[in-house]
Chains A and B, each alone.
Chain A
Amino acid sequence: MISERGRLEDFVRRLLTQKGATVATVGKDLLEVRLGEQLKQKFKRESLLLAFSEEAATQVQEAELAMPGSYLFSHLLSLAREKGATCKTVASEKTKSLNPFLKQTRFTNFNVEIIDREGYHHAFVRFHFLISYCTVDSTHEIRSVLYDIALKRVSPEADGSREHMIFESATLQGECLPSVGHDALLAALEGAGSYLVARIRHKVFALTARGSGLLETELGRLEVYYRRLIDEQHGSTLEVGSRSGENRERIENCKREWQRKASTESTRFRPRVGLSLIGLEEICAPRSLLTLRVDAHPFTEFYGLFDHASGNAMGAFCQGCSELSMLMSLDRSGAVLCGSCAVRSQKES
């Protein structure tokens, strides 16, 4: 298992190498960096000596600490943030063979043969979000959440159909998902954002409840204080008759002040949840659309789907509901159906 410090050192090494520097280990937790032209301009020097532990920085005086919290490290972070908000990846194939499809998909009362195979790339986008829970008490936390989303609705009338697959196979020729258009992408982002908002609701409730609890305590304290203060002023009014007008004014001032302070308190304990998009990744997974045929009469042809990236069958398309299913059966009319469609067909007949 790589330690936190090791991960950090590896990250810095990769980052600086990527930016054209030459990096060498010169001691425990110490890296010597010869900067390339691009970085020389940025750092205004030729080389860096980086320490990844406080001990190393203390032992080697010339070394600069490169750990979270140090200025140099925040400089490196901003260097990393200059690029890399979007990328396109093609998942590698785990298996080219289609044999797993036949093993994983269950055909209850018939056998099949693969008569045709069409390869394509199925494209996904993955949105990377940063969620910041901003509260006044102990629940400070920032975390990153990943969400996978497939742009299924690129062709609204053909969801899940063969046409749809062919449309998406356009990515195979080097085109990319942006061709689906801004609206579709925005809709996908909205879907991902909505999913996230819904998913963290319990956390938000807990924060809100905590805020309400704290607010209640503070308002209670203010109430006790101002009531007592007003009572004291009342007492003074009774004791010193000649100054009663002045005291009454003080009481009114107290009430106004109470109101003001209470309204300030209510803003203090309200939590905020910050949500921001920090990265967008397009992932193309190699898949095969298979044309299958029942190996006996009535020799029905139907379609199946296999994902080469995971090496898993996605299932066969039910001829009743067009959904993918891993359990198929042949009914009396010769249609290949999923479990629920088969039950319905049986009842109807």
Chain B
Amino acid sequence: MGNQEFTVGHRVVHRLFGEGLIVDVRKGVLHDVLEVVFPCGVKRIVSTYPLVETKGAARNSDAQQISSVSPQGPEQKPATLGEALASIAAREWGSAELLEWDERYADILKVYEEGRFDSTEDFSLRMEAERFALDRGFTQLVAFQYVRDVDRHTHQVAACLKVLRELGGRALLADEVGLGKTVEAGLILKEYLLRGLVKRALILVPVSLLTQWREELWNKFMLRATVAAGPDDWGKGSLIIASIDGAKGLRNRERILEQVFDILIVDEAHRLRNHKTVAWKFVHGLDVKYVLLLTATPVQNDLRELFNLVTLLRPGTLGTYRSFRKQFMVRGDRRLAKNTHSLSRLLSEVMVRTSRSQAEVPFTKRIVQNIVFHLSEEERRLYNSVSDLVREMLGQEETNIARQWYFTLLVLQKEIGSSSFAALRTLERICSNPLYEAAKDRFRELYDMARSIQHNSKCQGLLGLLEQRKEKVIVFTQFKSTLDYLKEVLERAGTSVAVFHGSLSASDKDEAIVSFKRSAQVLLSTEAGGEGRNLQFCRRVINYDLPWNPMRIEQRIGRVHRLGQKQDIQIFNFTTEDTVESYVLEILHKKISMFELVVGEMDLILGTLDDKPSFEEAVFHIWATSRNTEEVKRRFSTFGATLLYAKNRYEKVKDLDGRIFDVESGRGTR
């Protein structure tokens, strides 16, 4: 044994310590001194000790990693401090590549050399700040220091730590709906970025969630992401968000494969359940260090879907499909699993799932009250006139005109559902725009009608409601003009108001929230108020107008009804008779009981429908192309039935997933 040559990277077996990896060999006259890492720790052993070499040389990659030396070579003097330290690391650690020396040291030296000393108190405070930043007494996730409005929930912290520590950054985040998978993914991403393990990230999401992801990453995690659409966008920035459908296209696919990404996050990953689709093949072809797949429903119809998702993460975890089928699938029913305990054990190597019952967070009730108002005579006349004009113009045969008008009319119809003041500004703009010359007189007439209206019935109702109970309340509206009108009326009535809208600077937004938290009774907010702000201290929401997009409604409610809310929340939906909003509310509330759903479920229900046309477009289409009230009712009823079908389908999938994953007396795989 004494004559044997030992090399760094070889494995040896020691009689007492078991198998170990040689990490250093120091040459001596009589014998060499080996430094070996055993499971019990690092030991120094002389080479004459009887050691058995096990597997010969370690894998090439190990050996390279361990034995690489400074590129400068031992004799050449390193040019920079970084190189000097790298050569020390090569000597001491066996690899220069492991060290990442922060070159910003030069700034500190410069300040010092220029004699620009700070006071000892400043210095002491800064060093203490650095220690607090490291503080592990509160949490071991560094990311929490650098996020805002992200509450710390035990199940989320545990999920993140499990992914980082045990799963090596490849995980299927399959928490039940409403438990914050997106936040978990954001925290993991931030953690890796802060630790320097991730430099570039690719986030693939459904088209409908592109903006939401970008805004959440900024609002909560202070991460600026680029939404990529064309082939030239993939190299721009370090965080790229793209739609799965866009990315998998031939035009973009090749470009993406040329790029280096360290982490891939796929939201609504159940869309990758079929291994025969281009999307699955595309994701499987990406070579990325860390992969996070987010879905509340990994299995929709077939256990193979689960196998396919796991194969994207860690091929071989569930064996080959042939062995998986034999071991875990019940013959004759592709949805049923057998040997569930073994399956659960294997899945725990790649999956993090918390059920709502496991999460130690209270979920409070939503108490919904729909308040229907009667429009005054002049308001009704304006509403009907706008609707008639919309129908008439979109009914014209010249499709070019229809397209030209389409979005203006869509906005106008939504505005008139909010307030006459919201419509007024658009009508004014239309009247002064030469593009709309053909129908200028009709619009002028509407403009005059809108201008003559001084009060809106809904606003009087709002004052009455606020008077009944002096409790904090958020009033949501889609339009800044409506917000301005409400602010004026409420302030005149002596109500303290804070306003929050998209045109405010970031600091003004913060100030508005603080003012609401401290003193104001009412927060008037446009949709921008629904993005990322933590407003759990309030439990009342008034939807002064109703967006036609259920996701927007859910985001509004989600500001107060989120994890950590301790009280039941009250939602007041303001509508007026025979308006688009009243039909939207009818199908969302009465048909599919949307307000009783958990945050996130609506998205899954809508996800089972086709992406085109969008919910909003479908609503507008029904409204604008129906000839009379009966037809409107009938078509909205049919639309409601489609939604109900989607909801039932979702319920079935949820049930199936619950049966597969929540084995062992109702506990999940965590």
A residues near B (Cβ < 8 Å) are 4, 8, 11, 14-15, 18, 44-45, 61-62, 64, 67-69, 71, 73-74, 76-77, 80-81, 83-89, 128, 130, 132, 134, 136-138, 140-144, 176, 178, 182, 185-186, 189-190, 193-194, 197-198, 201-202, 204-206, 208-209, 212-216, 218-219, 221-222, 224-226, 228-229, 232, 260-261, 263-264, 266-282
**6 closest cross-chain pairs (CB), A and B:** A225-B316, A276-B102, A84-B126, A71-B148, A84-B122, A209-B37
Q: Report the separation of the CA atoms of residues A15 and B127 in the bound assembly, to the nearest whole angstrom.
A: 12
Known: A88-B117, A201-B92, A261-B287. A229 touches B137 (CB 8 A): no
B62 proximity list for chain A (CB < 8 A)? 212, 215-216
- Neighbour of A275 across the interface among B85, B319, B322, CB < 8 A: B85
21 pairs, A vs B, C-beta closer than 8 Å: A11-B128, A18-B122, A44-B508, A62-B519, A68-B135, A80-B126, A84-B123, A86-B118, A136-B164, A137-B165, A142-B142, A182-B109, A182-B113, A208-B94, A209-B37, A225-B319, A267-B289, A268-B168, A278-B126, A278-B130, A280-B109
B435 proximity list for chain A (CB < 8 A)? none
Known: A86-B118, A208-B23. A277 touches B108 (CB 8 A): yes
Known interface pairs A81-B129, A263-B61, A282-B117; 19 further A-B residue pairs with C-beta atoms within 8 A, sorted by A's residue number: A68-B139, A69-B138, A73-B132, A74-B145, A74-B146, A76-B129, A85-B118, A130-B130, A140-B140, A144-B130, A189-B81, A193-B84, A218-B314, A232-B320, A264-B287, A274-B102, A276-B102, A277-B105, A278-B126
The interface bits of chain B over 31-57 (1 if a CB of A lies within 8 angstroms of the residue's CB, else 0) are 000010100011000000000000000
Q: Contact: B133 with A71, CB < 8 Å? A: no
> What's the minimum C-beta distance from B113 to chain A, rounded to whole angstroms?
4
Q: Contact: A87 with B122, CB < 8 Å? A: yes
- Neighbour of A212 across the interface among B21, B114, B140, CB < 8 A: B21
Q: Contact: A85 with B320, CB < 8 Å? A: no
Nearest chain-B residue to A276 (Cβ)?
B102
B389 within 8 A of A: no
Known: A4-B137, A81-B129. A229 touches B320 (CB 8 A): yes
- Neighbour of B118 across the interface among A84, A144, A213, CB < 8 A: A84
Q: Contact: B41 with A206, CB < 8 Å? A: yes
B507 proximity list for chain A (CB < 8 A)? 44
Q: Report the separation of the CA atoms of residues A269 and B66 in the bound assembly, to the nearest whole angstrom.
A: 13
> What's the minimum C-beta distance from B478 to chain A, rounded to whole angstroms?
27
A226 proximity list for chain B (CB < 8 A)? 315-316
> What's the minimum C-beta distance from A245 to chain B, rounded to whole angstroms?
21
B127 proximity list for chain A (CB < 8 A)? 84, 128, 144, 278-279
> What's the minimum C-beta distance from B141 to chain A, rounded to whole angstroms?
8
Q: Contact: B85 with A134, CB < 8 Å? A: no
Stretch of B295-303, B403-411, B509-517 lying at the A interface: B509-517
B113 proximity list for chain A (CB < 8 A)? 178, 182, 185
B663 within 8 A of A: no
Q: For chains A and B in complex, what number of residue pairs have CB atoms within 8 angstroms?
A: 280
- Neighbour of A272 across the interface among B20, B100, B123, B148, CB < 8 A: B100
B320 proximity list for chain A (CB < 8 A)? 225, 228-229, 232
B152 within 8 A of A: yes
Q: Report the separation of the CA atoms of residues A69 and B99 in the bound assembly, to the nearest whole angstrom.
A: 28
- Neighbour of B58 across the interface among A8, A132, A212, CB < 8 A: A212
Nearest chain-B residue to A201 (Cβ)?
B92
B4 within 8 A of A: no
- Neighbour of B134 across the interface among A69, A142, A232, CB < 8 A: A142
The interface bits of chain B over 563-586 (1 if a CB of A lies within 8 angstroms of the residue's CB, else 0) are 000000000000000000000000
**In B467-492, which residues have CB < 8 Å from any A CB?**
none
Nearest chain-B residue to A277 (Cβ)?
B105
Q: Report the separation of the CA atoms of residues A73 and B126 in the bound assembly, to the nearest whole angstrom.
A: 14
Q: Contact: A11 with B123, CB < 8 Å? A: no
Nearest chain-B residue to A217 (Cβ)?
B168
Q: Contact: B316 with A222, CB < 8 Å? A: yes
Q: Report the separation of the CA atoms of residues A216 and B196 in the bound assembly, to the nearest whole angstrom.
A: 23
Q: Report the separation of the CA atoms of residues A142 and B89 in the bound assembly, to the nearest whole angstrom.
A: 18
B149 proximity list for chain A (CB < 8 A)? 71
Q: Report the separation of the CA atoms of residues A190 and B78 in the bound assembly, to the nearest whole angstrom.
A: 11
A261 proximity list for chain B (CB < 8 A)? 287, 315
The interface bits of chain B over 98-122 (1 if a CB of A lies within 8 angstroms of the residue's CB, else 0) are 1111101101110111111111111
B131 within 8 A of A: yes
B169 proximity list for chain A (CB < 8 A)? 136, 268
Q: Report the separation of the CA atoms of residues A208 and B92 in the bound assembly, to the nearest whole angstrom.
A: 13
> What's the minimum C-beta distance from B39 to chain A, rounded to whole angstroms?
9
> What's the minimum C-beta distance from A81 to chain B, rounded to whole angstroms?
6
B125 within 8 A of A: yes
Known: A86-B123, A87-B123. A276 touches B105 (CB 8 A): yes
> What's the minimum C-beta distance from B306 to chain A, rounded to whole angstroms?
16
> What's the minimum C-beta distance from B263 to chain A, rounded to whole angstroms?
11
B residues near A (Cβ < 8 Å) are 20-21, 23-24, 35, 37, 41-42, 58-59, 61-62, 65-66, 81, 84-85, 88-89, 92-95, 97-102, 104-105, 107-109, 111-140, 142, 144-149, 152, 164-166, 168-169, 195-197, 287-290, 314-317, 319-320, 322-323, 507-508, 510-511, 514, 517-519, 537
Q: Contact: B316 with A268, CB < 8 Å? A: no
A215 proximity list for chain B (CB < 8 A)? 59, 61-62
- Neighbour of A84 across the interface among B107, B125, B137, CB < 8 A: B125
B20 proximity list for chain A (CB < 8 A)? 209
> What's the minimum C-beta distance from B157 to chain A, rounded to whole angstroms?
10
Nearest chain-A residue to B103 (Cβ)?
A276
> What's the minimum C-beta distance from B329 to chain A, rounded to whole angstroms?
16
A206 proximity list for chain B (CB < 8 A)? 37, 41-42
B315 proximity list for chain A (CB < 8 A)? 222, 225-226, 261
- Neighbour of B125 across the interface among A18, A205, A225, A267, CB < 8 A: A18
Q: Contact: A205 with B123, CB < 8 Å? A: no
Q: Report the separation of the CA atoms of residues A86 and B124 in the bound assembly, to the nearest whole angstrom.
A: 10
- Neighbour of B84 across the interface among A190, A272, A278, A282, CB < 8 A: A190
Q: Contact: A185 with B130, CB < 8 Å? A: no
B142 proximity list for chain A (CB < 8 A)? 140, 142
Q: Contact: A18 with B121, CB < 8 Å? A: yes
Nearest chain-A residue to B111 (Cβ)?
A86
A62 proximity list for chain B (CB < 8 A)? 517-519
A209 proximity list for chain B (CB < 8 A)? 20-21, 23, 37
Q: Report the separation of the CA atoms of residues A219 and B134 in the bound assembly, to the nearest whole angstrom.
A: 34
B122 proximity list for chain A (CB < 8 A)? 18, 83-84, 87
B287 proximity list for chain A (CB < 8 A)? 260-261, 263-264
> What's the minimum C-beta distance from B356 to chain A, rounded to whole angstroms?
23
Known: A204-B98, A260-B287. A270 touches B65 (CB 8 A): yes
Known: A219-B59, A279-B123. A186 touches B109 (CB 8 A): yes
Q: Contact: A272 with B316, CB < 8 Å? A: no
Known: A44-B507, A61-B537, A77-B129. A86 touches B196 (CB 8 A): no
> What's the minimum C-beta distance from A343 to chain B, rounded to whole angstroms?
28
Q: Contact: A14 with B125, CB < 8 Å? A: yes
Q: Contact: A138 with B81, CB < 8 Å? A: no
Q: Contact: B119 with A87, CB < 8 Å? A: yes
> What's the minimum C-beta distance from B76 to chain A, rounded to whole angstroms?
16
Q: Report the separation of the CA atoms of residues A330 and B619 in the bound assembly, to the nearest whole angstrom.
A: 105
Nearest chain-B residue to A225 (Cβ)?
B316
Q: Contact: A281 with B195, CB < 8 Å? A: no
